[in-house]
Amino acid sequence: MTSTPNKSPSTQIAIFGGGCFWCLEAVFQRTTGVTKVLSGYMGGHLANPSYEAVCGKQTGHAEVVLVEYRPDQIGYAALLDIFFTIHDPTTPNRQGNDVGPQYRSMVFATSASQCELAGRKLGELQSAGVRAVTELVDVTGEDWRVALDQITRDSDSTTVRTVRPEVVFWPAEADHHSYFNRNPGQGYCLFVVAPKVIKAQQSFPAMVKD
């Protein structure tokens, strides 16, 4: 049973999409101040999507990670720095050899301050000549947690139908969680995920968990 992030008064939630969620998950799991990471789907038009449907480009979702973090240990701006370092925000619907809308660059801001900081970061990138195509989606005030709080992936609950599916975070299937940790020798993990983990640790050594 996968433990789902449940924001407490001492933690906040960030949501990022930038290529395969195995990569982002592995990086943020090793980041100081991050307490939980959960892979999932967001930004699509159908409820309760499956991995096969998302990869088949049937739902419009992006692969994302939900990052629970302690702002007294790491700020949202630092998470943004890591995110934009470990993926290419300039290629629409693509990360390396992974091609498709599910791999597009996205930031889902869960608060007004996150939206402001993400917008500022994108502005800085543009000023530096980085033509980022990252989609910034403000879900402040939206019931994006409904799939975590009220239904399970095998439920027939219709609760979510009262919420716009595109703003809901849908947890991925259990076999995608902690994928790199469980499959370090798998080919994709060796040649795609591991280099991103190393890049993050070399770029932000002070933010690597002990």
% of the chain with per-residue pLDDT over 90: 83
Give the number of other Cβ atoms within 10 Å of residue 4's Cβ.
17
Q: 167-179 burial, b if ≥16 CB within 10 A, otherwise e?
A: bbbbbbeeebbbb
Give the pLDDT confidence of 54-84 residue by residue, as tens digits. 999 999 999 999 999 999 999 999 999 999 9
Helix pair 21-29, 76-86: axis angle to 10 deg: 130
Report pLDDT for 151. 46
Model-level pTM? 0.90
Catalytic residues: 20
Asked: is 12-207 a CATH 3.30.1060.10 domain? The reply is yes
Question: C-alpha angle with apex 57: 170 to 126, nearest 5 degrees?
Answer: 80
